[in-house]
Amino acid sequence: MIMVRHIENGTVIDHIEAGRALQVLRIIGGPNDSTVVVAMNVPSTKYRRKDILKMENVYVDEKKLDLISIIAPKATINLIKDGKVVEKRRVELPPEVTGILKCLNPTCITNKEREPVTSKFKVERNPLRLICEYCNKEFEASTLLKELSL
Ligand code: ZN
């Protein structure tokens, strides 16, 4: 096992699909002034290779966890307090995602400047795709996530 910095308080996201840790970090919003350890391509018994994120004093809100589930559906979230794991859970694909993501259809009502509407996407599985509730356009999750500017 690779030795990475131990954190006292914060969040550890484990079992991220190899190569996607930086995308997850982007959703969370970058390190700001907290310590972030990114471990990529860590050998894993379960999934061969995985990425791990350790973030000191960072707690991820539900909305962002929904987005994380879209790019890292096998991720586990560990909340650390005083050096101990106090909560451990998996991310779950939500039925829909509101806000944060932007519809890429330029004529969609969510992109009209005069009456801004919060974006809303239905989440469809197998294959994973997102459908805008307003214009019904379908997007691959990765396409929408690329546009994220957090
Ligand atoms: Zn739309």
- 57 or 3, greater pLDDT: 57
Residues within 5 A (CB) of ion ligand 1: 103, 105, 108, 132, 134-135
Question: What are the tens digits of pLDDT across the range 2-33?
Answer: 555 688 999 999 999 998 998 899 888 866 78
123 has pLDDT over 90: yes
In 3D space, the residue among 77, 70, 121, 127 whose CA is nearest the CA of residue 93 turns out to be 70
How far is ligand 1, taken at its centre, from the CA of residue 144, in Å?
A: 11
How far is ligand 1, taken at its centre, from the CA of residue 85, in Å?
A: 40
Query: What is the structure's pLDDT at 150?
Result: 45
How far is ligand 1, taken at its centre, from the CA of residue 104, in Å?
A: 7
How far is ligand 1, taken at its centre, from the CA of residue 133, in Å?
A: 7
Global pTM value? 0.79
If you average pLDDT over residues 94-117, what whole number do you get? 88
If you average pLDDT over residues 32-39, what whole number do you get? 86
Residue 9: exposure state from Cβ atoms within 10 A (0-12, 13-18, ≥19): middle
